[in-house]
Structure 1
Amino acid sequence: MIQQLFSNIIHFFGSGTNVGFMILALLAIGGAVFMLNFTKVIHMVISIAVTFISIAGIYILLQAEFVAVAQILIYAGAITIMMIFGIMMTNHQEIDQSTGRPLHHALVIVGCVGLFALIFYAIQQGTFRTQVVDLAENNTKNIGLELFTEHVIPFELMSVLLTVAFIGAIIIAKREED
């Protein structure tokens, strides 16, 4: 049982794609955790940008280059810049979170390790069917056709919604200033 477990781990890390996935997944999770734990807002924005960029790397590993470029342009670029503008336009104070809660931190660590062990065990015991699928054939063309034929109205509505949200943030920031 233990020998099979270690052979599965060695087999998994024998592929460069799997190693790259693990590095990018750890960066994505680490950036999200740091974003939640940092107290300075600019550090939060940088860590969430690391998360967005590492998710784009995972899309590249999945051979979805168009989605990866869109992830970098929209999320790592535009949303991060919009967050920085929001930070500059609002008044915020740094919250002191230095109060020690050792029991809380210990429970969080135990919970994370337990969740990791449970997921790891489930993946090791699971049987997965293998199937050969050519996902990257005309990937960008198919996404463009779907986006601008079947889903053009939701696409345009999302751009209007984002514009209204940004204008609303500017109005709220101006009210706080006055």
Structure 2
Amino acid sequence: MLANIVAFLSSGENVTFFIFALLAIGGSIFMLSFTKVVHMVLALAVAFISLAGLYVLLDAEFVAFVQVLIYAGAISILMIFGIMMTKHQGEEEEPKRPVYNTLLFIGAAGLFGILFYAIQTVNLSPGEFEAPQDNTMEIGKLLFNQHVIPFELMSVLLTVAFIGAIVVAKREED
């Protein structure tokens, strides 16, 4: 089993994958564990950016760019604006939760152990992956030919949601 770990870590691409995967999992766990909303947003942004790194490793540069642009950038900024536009009463500090933190650590370590064992024991046949020459052009063709109606509906839905959030925030202010 140790030989498998050494063989896995002998490639720089695998080490990079391992780092991005740990950042994605860690950011997600911290997002769920933090109690302050701003810290949660920052942890979520770390998870989004590490997912973009994983997309780059998969030769999906366009998806990685969209991940950084839309999720890590726009949604994180939108969440911070939402926090700033709402009123927060004197936030009381939560009591320490040692049992919760212990169970969280045991659960995370158990999940890591199960995944590690499953990955070490699986037998996958090696194969070659051939990425298309210009995957961005293919995505654009699909998006603007076959999926143009859902694309436009999503833009209208996001615009209505943003306007609704502003109206609700203004109503609370008055």
TM bin, normalised by shorter chain, reads over 0.9
**Superposition deviation, residue 41 in structure 1:** 2.2
Aligned partners of 1:136 and 1:91: how far apart in 2? Answer: 50
| RCO higher in structure (CA 8 A, sep ≥6) | 1
Question: Normalization by structure 2: what TM-score?
Answer: 0.92
Q: What is residue 37 of structure 1 aligned with on the other side? A: 33
1:166 to 162, 165, 169: 162
Identity %: 61
TM-score between both structures, scaled by the size of structure 1: 0.90
**Change in 2 beyond 3 A, CA 1:59/1:136:** farther
Partner of 1:103: 99
From 62, 66, 89, the counterpart of 1:66 = 62
Residue 18 of structure 2 is aligned to residue 22 of structure 1: yes
SS at match of 1:174: helix
Deviation readout 1:2-54 (Å, 9 max, x if unpaired): xxx00000000001011111111111122222222223322222221111111
Deviation of residue 136 (structure 1)?
4.3
Distance 2:152 2:36 in 1: 34
Q: What CA distance in whole angstroms lies between the structure 2 residues aligned with 1:64 and 1:86?
A: 31
Q: Distance in 1 between matches of 2:100 and 2:71?
A: 32
Please give the root-mean-square deviation of Cα atoms over the aligned residues, in Å: 1.5
Unaligned runs of 5+ in 1: none
Structure 2 match to 1:143: 139
- Partner letter of residue 108 of structure 1? L
Instruction: Determine the C-alpha separation between the residues in 2 that align with 1:124 and 1:161.
Output: 44
CA distance in 2, matches of 1:35, 1:92: 20
1:146 partner letter = L
Q: How many residues align?
A: 173
Q: Using a 3 Å threshold, how does the CA distance of structure 1 residues 11 and 95 change in structure 2: closer, same or farther?
A: farther
Q: One-letter code of the match for 2:19?
A: I
Cα separation, partners in 2 of 1:100 and 1:42, compared to 1, 3 Å: closer
TM-superposition CA deviations, 1:124-157 (whole Å, max 9, x none) = 1111122212124221111111111111111111
| More off after superposition, 130-139 vs 9-18 | 130-139
* SS of match in other structure, 1:91: coil
**Range moving further from structure 2, 99-108 or 145-154:** 99-108
Match of 1:87 in 2: 83
Deviates most, 39-48 or 164-173:
39-48
Q: Any unmatched runs of 5+ in structure 2?
A: none
Name the residue aligned to 1:123: 119
